[in-house]
Amino acid sequence: MKDEVIPDPQNRRRWQRRRTRLRPAKLLNIQLVFLEDAMCVDISDGGMRIARPSERQLPKSLVVFDVSDLTLRAGAVCWTAGKQIGLRFTSRAVKANPAQLKALGMRDVSSSVYIRK
């Protein structure tokens, strides 16, 4: 018989979070228009904690562009605390296409050719 794991009532998280060592991100509205740069502080399967440079008002629904993975993921803001927000994911991560990368000021490295001397 397995022991039942009783969750800590102080911790309402459904997923285990992982620290990301300040992973760069860009916050976009649902039309994929850039709002501001940010840093992902920690991430889980269900969401992420994001550090922002300002306390400017954001829409309730956002898209996060993960600069490290070159992926887009939709989410809903579930809490704010000063310059940090909690984002609950509402979609799976999708690789950004070359047009989206260009619009975000990123370079599509998948089509780059490297010559080794």
Cβ atoms 86, 78 nearer than 8 A: yes
| 87 pLDDT more than 50 | yes
For 12-55, the pLDDT digits (tens) are 555 455 555 678 999 999 999 999 999 999 888 899 999 999 99
Nearest to 89 by CA among 61, 58, 54: 61
Asked if residues 59 and 98 have their Cβ atoms less than 8 Å apart, the reply is no
* Stronger pLDDT, 22 or 58, i.e. the higher one: 58
What mean pLDDT do residues 83-104 have? Answer: 94
Using pLDDT thresholds of 50, 70 and 90, give the confidence band for residue 3.
Answer: very low
How crowded is the C-beta side of 59, counted as CA atoms within 13 Å?
16
**55 contacts: CB under 8 Å, gap ≥ 6:** 82, 83
User: pTM for the full model?
Assistant: 0.75
Go through the domains of the chain in sequence order and give each one's CATH number. 18-104 (2.40.10)
State the pLDDT confidence band at 9, using cuts at 50, 70 and 90: very low
DSSP at 45: S
